[in-house]
Amino acid sequence: MIEQANLQIIGQAERVKFPSLDLSLHARIDTGARTSAIWASSTQEAEGVLEVIFVGKSHEAYTGEVVKFHEYSQEVVTSSTGHTDVRYKVKIPVVVKGRKIKANFTLADRSAQVYPVLVGRNILRGKFVVDVKGGATLRHAERALAAKKEDILKNSKNEGGSL
């Protein structure tokens, strides 16, 4: 068992930095996720090089800059709802609460999510303990997304449809 004295406390959401990408993004901390994920709005593979554009045009951190990865792989990811997806996986240095970690991230379309980054157990294990009462949450955006989903559900029921 890992000594808890060596673990740093982080909240349910934190601001994380990607120095090599010149990005600072809000991240959801998810102890249920095996691998971390970052929003990639575009991925293109050609001649052994993966070209990626991070976050989407609607996000304040979007630059449209193409980042090239010469080392990458693909991984099958299963969501909490059981949906499987094949995603690219890259290794990117990330700074969480002042601690620099070189970690694997899958590239995902997170445009429908509040947080463009998901920090999973591959980063948390042996380094952090999560206190769900803390962190830099985006409460307003979380509530707006929840309300939007609730409206969709209500409209679906009123129209006699099913999800």
Q: 78 vs 65, which has greater pLDDT?
A: 65
The helix (H) or strand (E) run that includes residue 87 is strand 84-96
Tokens standing for residue 22: 């010149």
Q: pLDDT grade, residue 148 (50/70/90)? A: low
Give dist(CA 15, CA 24) in Å, integer: 7
More confident residue, 136 or 101: 101
CA 106 to each of CA 37, 39, 58, 101, 127: distance values in angstroms, whole numbers, following the listed order: 5, 9, 21, 15, 20
Q: State the pLDDT at residue 153.
A: 64
Find the DSSP H helices in 9-138. Answer: 121-124
Check whether 163 has a pLDDT greater than 60: no
For the chain, the maximum distance between any two Cα atoms, rounded to a whole number of angstroms, is: 55
With 70 as the cut, is the pLDDT of residue 149 above it?
no
Under DSSP, the state recorded for 35 is S
CA gap 86, 33 in Å, rounded = 16
Phi, psi of 46 (to 5 degrees): -155, 125
- In the chain, the domains with their CATH numbers are 8-136 (2.40.70.10)
